[in-house]
A and B are shown apart, each in its own frame.
Chain A
Amino acid sequence: MAAGVDRGDAARAGQHVFLLPEYLKDTSKKMKSGLMFVKLINPCSGEGTIYLFNMCLQQLFEIKVFKEKHHSWFINQSVQSGGLLHFATPMDPLFLLLHYFIKADKQGKFQPLDQVVVDDVFPDCILLLKLPELEKLLHHVTEEKEIDKKKYYKYSEEKTLKWLEKKVHQTVAALKANNVIVGARVQSSLFSGDQVSNDKEEDYLHYAHGLISDYIPKELSDGLSKHLKLPEPSTPLPNPPSKKPKLSDEPIEAKEDYTKFNTKDLKTEKKSSKMTAAQKALAKVDKSGMKSIETFFGAKSKKKIGKI
């Protein structure tokens, strides 16, 4: 990258806008190294994904990217295309460890940790083994045996489902605390503003299940759905009379390109104030509760991060 050559303020090929936990700045006083971005497996998709490791505090962070069409940054005296906003938020390492335990479970036996967490493609997975209180964490998802003071572990689906259920419930609490609108009524609230708070418990469970499902493989997500006794996602209601969305379909090409994000008509669309053409699709997503994380970010949240 040419950036390293010219250390001038603005002549940089890639500037990344990041939001980090504030305490990383304070703890960095004591540490001279140990904050690093590494590529590990994404426990949901199985693809390589960038995570941030703090070797000093022994913490794992996931990176999410906000990306919406037609944005750019002015950063001091420079312009940066894309308008990406990166978030680093603490991640429960158990989701990643779980991936390896499920994989190892095919052999159906108790194994020591360092034989479970091995990965030729993403060798940095061994960093996970340095995290503190691993044994306590693993207790949530594995059976264990101790032979000659060495611990052996085996994946337990039953325990894992119970653990995930607790995750779902604490996520539901956060959704409520943050007033996130989770139900199908997001759409109908277009027409009567007072229904917004009528989200049902089931909608919250669906939504939380969708959020958690971004961290576990599909089979486990299905198992969790059964465990929570969630009904199959109902087929989306016929689109409510789409007067309002129509309005923003009208404008001429250029106007549509630039105004769709701030058109007042989209006010009640909450999480889906994206392209008007995509609104119906997004509404469906909201109803099923799946892939909900994507409603916070752009569609291709993982792509650019590989360039860091």
Chain B
Amino acid sequence: MESSDPTIVGRQRVHLRPATLRDAAPVTLHLLPCEVLANRPAPVERFFTPAIRQGPDGLQVSFRGRSLRGEEVAVPSGLAGYVMVTEGKGDGLRKQDFSESLKNGGDEEQEPLERDFDRFIEATGSFSRFTLWGLETTPGPDAKVHGALAWPDLAAAIHAQVPED
């Protein structure tokens, strides 16, 4: 898709480090009803979190002077939430650990799962709920994200094995 090197297309694997799924510390997530065009640290705990109040119709806060209403959304049962980050190349040490454990754990694979040009991703945080914010009113049950959260159940039906005749 966006890979610049055509020889890599379809050949690169991104390995998820399984151990990080166990070790990921809980994170606090807010889904805001606006686009902040930045990916960087932000003093959420200084400005946002202390301003959250429990109102009559859900949580209240303001962001950039606009009033937000929020609700807690639970991750559907059977699922677990993770925040993941890809690692840059040259994470030498970690990579070596990984190859080491692969020797012990890798069963009868003839071809190694991990190749030189592969990349790695790891879970840095876990969550079982997040706060969904709407502008001025709570997003409510018809928010699109609730529809998306119903997807895993439907997917299970679509992809379940069908009985033989």
Contact = CB atoms under 8 A, between A and B. Distances in A.
Contact-residue bracket for chain A: 35 or more
Contacts of A72: 31-32, 34-36
A47 B3 CA distance: 14
B86 interface: yes
A33 B85 contact: no
Given A258-B66, A261-B134, A306-B1, A4 B88 contact: yes
Interface in B23-55: 27-45, 48
| Chain A contact residues: helix, strand, loop or mixed | mixed
Given A22-B79, A259-B135, A274-B144, A73 B40 contact: no
Nearest to A77: B44
Given A3-B87, A140-B162, A174 B9 contact: no
A25 B45 contact: no
Contacts of A258: 33-34, 66, 135
Contacts of A266: 142
Contacts of B114: 33
A81 B152 contact: no
B46 to A, nearest CB: 9
Interface string B132-159: 0011111110111101101111111111
Contacts of A139: 164
A215 B119 CA distance: 28
Contacts of B29: 17, 73-75
Interface in A153-199: 162-163, 166-167, 170-171, 173-175, 177-178, 180
A251 to B, nearest CB: 11
Nearest to A53: B13
Contacts, number: 321
B62 to A, nearest CB: 13
B42 A10 contact: yes
Interface in A1-58: 1-5, 8-22, 24-25, 28-29, 31-40, 47-48, 52, 55
A273 B142 contact: yes
A40 B9 CA distance: 10
Point out which of A3, A20, A33, A167 has the most chain B C-beta atoms below 10 A from its C-beta: A33
A92 B32 contact: no
B10 A308 contact: no
A124 interface: yes
A83 B21 contact: no
Interface of B: 1-3, 9-16, 18-19, 21-22, 27-45, 48, 66, 69, 75-76, 78-91, 98, 101-102, 104-106, 109, 113-114, 118, 121, 123-125, 134-140, 142-145, 147-148, 150-165
Those 6 A-B pairs whose CB atoms lie nearest each other, nearest first:
A4-B88, A174-B157, A306-B1, A262-B134, A28-B18, A32-B101
Given A4-B90, A11-B41, 7 more contacts: A17-B83, A70-B35, A74-B30, A76-B27, A78-B39, A78-B41, A262-B69
